[in-house]
Structure 1
Amino acid sequence: MLKMRQIRQMQEHEREEYIRLSSFAFQYTLTPEELVKRAASLVPQENWGCYGEEGLEARLTLLPMEVYVGGKPFAMGGIAGVATWPEKRRGGRVAGLLSHSLRVMKEQGQMISMLHPFKFEFYRRFGWETYAEYKKLELGPHQLPRFPAVAGRIVRTTELDILAPVYEAYAVRYNGMLVRSRKWWEDRVLARKNEGRLGAAYFDADGQAKGYILYKVADYTLTVYEWVALDGEAYRGLWNFIADHDSMLGSAGKVQLLMAHPGDRLASLLKDPRILQETVPYFMARLVDAEAFLNRYSFRQGVKGELHLHIRDEQAPWNEGGYAIRLGEEGARVRRSAAGDEAASVEALSCGIGILTSMLLGYERPSFWYEHGLLTGSASQLELLEAAVPEGRPFLLDFF
Structure 2
Amino acid sequence: MEIRQIAATERTDTMFPLQTYAFRPSPGADADRETYAQRMQYYRTAVSLIAEEGGRTLAGVGAFPMRQNVRDVVHDMAGVASVTTDPSARRRGFVRALVGRLLHEMHDRGCTVSALYPFRPSFYGRFGFVGLPRFRTATFAPEGLSGLLRADLPGEVERLAMREGFDDFDALTLRLLGERHGFSVFDEVRTAEFRESPARWVAIARVDGEVVGAVAYRIDDFGGDLVADDLLVTGPLGRALLLQFFARHVDQVARIVMKVGADDVPELWGTDLAVLTEGRVAFPNRGGPMARLLSMEALTGTATSATGAVTVEVADDEFIGGRYRLAGEGGRLIVEQCKDEPAATLTCSGISALAYGVLDPVEVVTRGFGQVDAAAIGPLTALFPRRMPYMFADF
Structure 2 length as normaliser, TM-score? 0.87
Aligned to 1:188: 194
Letter in 2 for 1:32: D
Aligned to 2:206: 203
Q: How does 1:152-167 map to 2 (within 5 A)?
A: 152-157=155-160, 158=162, 159-167=165-173
Aligned to 1:213: 215
Letter in 1 for 2:266: L
Q: CA 1:188–1:387 in 2, change beyond 3 Å: closer, same or farther?
A: same
SS of the residue corresponding to residue 317 of structure 1 reads coil
Quick one: distance in 2 between partners of 1:373 and 1:18? Answer: 36
Aligned to 1:79: 80
Q: CA 1:226–1:331 in 2, change beyond 3 Å: closer, same or farther?
A: closer
- 1:393: Cα distance to partner? 3.2
Q: How does 1:270-309 map to 2 (within 5 A)?
A: 270-272=270-272, 274-280=274-280, 282-289=288-295, 291-295=296-300, 297-301=301-305, 303-309=306-312
- 1:351: Cα distance to partner? 1.7
Letter in 2 for 1:186: A
CA contact 2:45–2:65 (8 Å) conserved in 1: no
- 1:210: Cα distance to partner? 0.9
Q: Structure 1 residue 38 and structure 2 residue 36: aligned?
A: yes
Q: How does 1:230-241 map to 2 (within 5 A)?
A: 230-241=234-245
- 1:62: Cα distance to partner? 1.6
Quick one: distance in 1 between partners of 2:196 and 2:363? Answer: 39
Aligned to 2:284: none
Quick one: distance in 2 between partners of 1:183 and 1:44? Answer: 7
Q: Structure 1 residue 175 and structure 2 residue 178: aligned?
A: no
CA contact 1:73–1:179 (8 Å) conserved in 2: no
- 1:306: Cα distance to partner? 2.3
Q: 160-169 or 112-121: which moved more? A: 160-169
CA contact 2:68–2:76 (8 Å) conserved in 1: yes
- 1:120: Cα distance to partner? 1.5
Aligned to 1:108: 109
Equivalent in 346, 350, 361 of residue 345 of structure 2:
350
Q: Alpha-carbon deviations, 1:295-318, whole Å to 9, x = none?
A: 3x50404x22321111123xx424
Q: 109-118 or 377-386: which moved more? A: 377-386
CA contact 1:299–1:388 (8 Å) conserved in 2: no
Quick one: distance in 2 between partners of 1:104 and 1:44? Answer: 13
CA contact 2:359–2:386 (8 Å) conserved in 1: no
Q: Alpha-carbon deviations, 1:3-57, whole Å to 9, x = none?
A: xx11111265563122111111112455434414423515496210111125211
- 1:100: Cα distance to partner? 1.1
Q: Alpha-carbon deviations, 1:197-238, whole Å to 9, x = none?
A: 21111122x232211121111222111113112121221121
Quick one: distance in 2 between partners of 1:151 and 1:326? Answer: 44
Equivalent in 15, 29, 37 of residue 12 of structure 2:
15
SS of the residue corresponding to residue 18 of structure 1 reads helix
Q: CA 1:217–1:79 in 2, change beyond 3 Å: closer, same or farther?
A: same
SS of the residue corresponding to residue 105 of structure 2 reads helix
- Sequence identity of aligned pairs in percent? 21
Structure 1 length as normaliser, TM-score? 0.86
CA contact 2:140–2:274 (8 Å) conserved in 1: no
Letter in 2 for 1:201: I
Aligned to 1:50: 51
Q: Alpha-carbon deviations, 1:122-142, whole Å to 9, x = none?
A: 211221111232110111244
Aligned to 2:322: 321
Quick one: distance in 2 between partners of 1:360 and 1:57? Answer: 36
Quick one: distance in 2 between partners of 1:198 and 1:150? Answer: 22
Equivalent in 315, 320, 340 of residue 312 of structure 1:
315
- 1:145: Cα distance to partner? 4.5
CA contact 2:183–2:389 (8 Å) conserved in 1: yes
Q: CA 1:189–1:125 in 2, change beyond 3 Å: closer, same or farther?
A: farther
SS of the residue corresponding to residue 66 of structure 2 reads strand
Letter in 2 for 1:119: R
Q: Alpha-carbon deviations, 1:245-269, whole Å to 9, x = none?
A: 11112xxx21101x20111112023
Aligned to 2:262: 262
SS of the residue corresponding to residue 231 of structure 2 reads strand
Is there any run of 5+ residues in structure 2 with no aligned partner, and where?
Answer: 282-287
Quick one: distance in 1 between partners of 2:181 and 2:90? Answer: 34
Q: CA RMSD in A?
A: 2.4
- 1:181: Cα distance to partner? 4.0
